[in-house]
Each structure stands twice: as structure tokens, then as C-alpha cells.
């Protein structure tokens, strides 16, 4: 560390000590910075900083497509035309669709949960979820999704992709707000990293009664505020576990989803 940096750290510490006469928190902040400087020394601009308890999670690792995106050649996660609940074995994926709901009275159909007739753009099949979510204070709603790999806890490397697209619509009288989420190594319980799990990176989607394509880029997904441990800055695409759609409490819903695909740069 240079003499200038040493003097800066010392000045910061002295200032924090003076402020501590009125604000004890300032002392803790000053000591934290001084301790960090002593422990790590001088950090160059090219050196990567790792956050304790987080795997990856750096926004600098996410790719940006300046010329736009397109469906990846091996990017089909599911188009449901095979009329089963396993993902097509494309791009090394072999996971299965699943459902989840709170224990406060929320319902989710059809039962058994499987593709339904009628898809986007005249296709034959799509995935439909319908029911009613409970309104009690502890209710959180329902969700349906898929693990990208069938082995429990297996991490899928999606770093060659930049996002996910899907087509969706809401049936007559249905809620129109849907949250799309991506579970990664830092948020999914099966990865054994998170302490407060399931706050996946996601984006709220506003549906219409007509089929429409939605694109969700890895650079724009965020965790819900105020909870979850850890809380990385960004998704870690090289270590994904799942995708899912969820509907919040107190709503009647009839949601249709089709043609889910990974995206790549043009």
C-alpha cells in the first residue's frame, strides 16, 4: 500500500473516531474500512472481488447483446408438443415439470398436471395452470416450473445463453400478473448455498388475453426485495437449477404458457 493510501486510511479512522462521540455507528464503519484495507492491501482495478457466501453473482459476468437476440439453436426448454412433463432432451436438459402451492387453501390444476390442448400460433399443445389462490395472511399462492436437470441438485451451465423467451396468455376472468423466476446456485435450496432460500431472480410479467411472446434477459432479473440470504448482485447463468412461474395470493387464475426457449446473441 502506498504512503498516500496509508494516510487516507488513517484520516478515515480519525474522522470516524471523532464522529463516534455523537454517532457510534460511524466508528464501526471507519474500523471496517480500515480493517479491510489492512487485510487485503491495495486492490487493483482488474482484480475480482468475491462476496463471502455467494457463488458467482457478478453483473460483470453477464453478456449483453448489442445486435439483439434470437432463439438458440439448442435452446428449446419445452414446447409441450410431446404431451408429457419431461423437458425435451435438447442442450443436455432432461428435467421434469412440477407444481407447488401454499397450505392455506390455494388450488392448482389440472390434476394430473400435464400439457393441455391448444397452443400458441396454432400449435397443438401448451401448458395450462388454473385455480384460485388463498387470501389468508400466510398464503403465498401457487407455482409451476421445471428443474433443468433430473438429478437433484445438479447445476446446469447456461452461460452460452443470454436470456429466456416464452409465449403466454391469461384466460377470461383470470389474473394477469405472473412472475417468472430462475433458480440458481445462490437461491435454490438443493444447491446448499443459501440460508434463506427460494428468492429466485425473476421478473413480473403482465399478461393479456392473447398469446404474446415475452423475453426475459439474464441482465434484468432481480430478487424480490427485503428477504433472502444471500442476496447476490446478479444471476449466475453458469449454475442454474430451475425455472418457474408463480401467481400471488387472492386471485383467480387461468394461465397458459408455450414455446419456452433459451436466447442467444444475434
Residue 41: is the preceding peptide bond cis (ω within 30°)? no
The residue range of the domain holding 35 is 3-40
Q: Using CA atoms, how far apart are residues 199 and 1, in angstroms rounded to an integer?
A: 39
Is 135 found in the same domain as 14? Answer: no
pTM over 0.85: no
Is 247 found in the same domain as 127? Answer: yes
pLDDT greater than 80 at residue 178: yes
State the total domains in the chain.
2
Is 70 found in the same domain as 32? Answer: no
Per-residue pLDDT at 48: 41
Is 32 found in the same domain as 81? Answer: no
pLDDT greater than 60 at residue 36: no
Is 133 found in the same domain as 12? Answer: no
Is 175 found in the same domain as 240? Answer: yes
Is 203 found in the same domain as 156? Answer: yes
Tens of pLDDT, residue by residue over 127-154, are 999 999 999 999 999 999 999 999 999 9
Domain presence at residue 173: yes
Is 33 found in the same domain as 81? Answer: no
- The position carrying cell 395452470 is 129
pLDDT greater than 90 at residue 89: yes
Q: Could you tell me if 248 and 140 are in contact, meaning their C-beta atoms sit under 8 angstroms apart?
A: yes
Domain presence at residue 48: no
Domain presence at residue 64: yes
Report percent pLDDT > 90 for the chain: 77
Tens of pLDDT, residue by residue over 55-79, are 888 998 899 999 999 999 999 999 9
Is 68 found in the same domain as 12? Answer: no
Per-residue pLDDT at 55: 86
At 206, list the grid cell. 403482465
User: 41 pLDDT band (50/70/90 cuts)?
Assistant: very low
Amino acid at each position: 500500500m502506498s504512503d498516500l493510501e496509508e494516510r487516507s486510511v488513517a484520516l478515515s479512522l480519525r474522522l470516524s473516531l471523532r464522529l463516534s462521540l455523537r454517532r457510534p455507528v460511524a466508528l464501526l464503519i471507519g474500523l471496517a474500512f480500515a480493517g479491510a484495507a489492512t487485510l487485503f492491501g491495495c486492490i487493483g482495478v482488474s482484480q475480482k472481488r468475491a462476496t463471502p457466501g455467494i457463488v458467482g453473482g457478478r453483473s460483470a459476468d453477464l453478456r449483453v447483446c448489442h445486435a439483439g437476440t434470437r432463439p438458440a439453436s439448442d435452446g428449446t426448454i419445452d414446447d409441450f408438443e410431446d404431451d408429457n412433463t419431461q423437458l425435451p432432451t435438447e442442450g443436455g436438459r432432461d428435467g421434469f415439470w412440477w407444481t407447488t402451492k401454499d397450505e392455506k387453501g390455494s388450488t392448482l390444476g389440472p390434476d394430473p398436471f400435464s400439457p393441455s390442448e391448444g397452443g400458441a400460433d396454432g400449435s397443438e399443445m401448451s401448458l395450462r395452470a388454473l385455480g384460485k389462490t388463498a387470501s389468508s395472511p400466510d398464503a403465498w399462492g401457487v407455482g409451476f416450473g421445471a428443474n433443468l436437470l433430473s438429478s437433484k441438485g445438479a447445476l446446469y451451465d447456461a452461460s452460452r445463453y443470454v436470456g429466456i423467451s416464452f409465449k403466454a396468455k391469461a384466460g377470461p376472468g383470470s389474473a394477469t400478473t405472473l412472475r417468472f423466476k430462475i433458480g440458481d446456485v445462490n437461491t435454490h435450496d438443493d444447491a446448499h448455498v443459501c440460508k434463506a432460500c427460494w428468492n429466485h431472480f425473476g421478473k413480473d410479467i403482465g399478461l393479456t388475453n392473447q398469446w404474446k411472446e415475452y423475453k426475459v434477459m439474464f441482465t434484468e432479473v432481480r430478487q424480490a426485495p427485503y428477504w433472502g440470504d444471500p442476496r447476490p448482485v446478479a444471476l449466475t447463468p453458469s449454475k442454474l437449477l430451475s425455472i418457474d412461474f408463480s401467481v400471488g395470493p387472492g386471485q383467480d387464475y387461468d394461465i397458459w404458457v408455450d414455446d419456452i426457449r433459451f436466447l442467444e446473441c444475434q
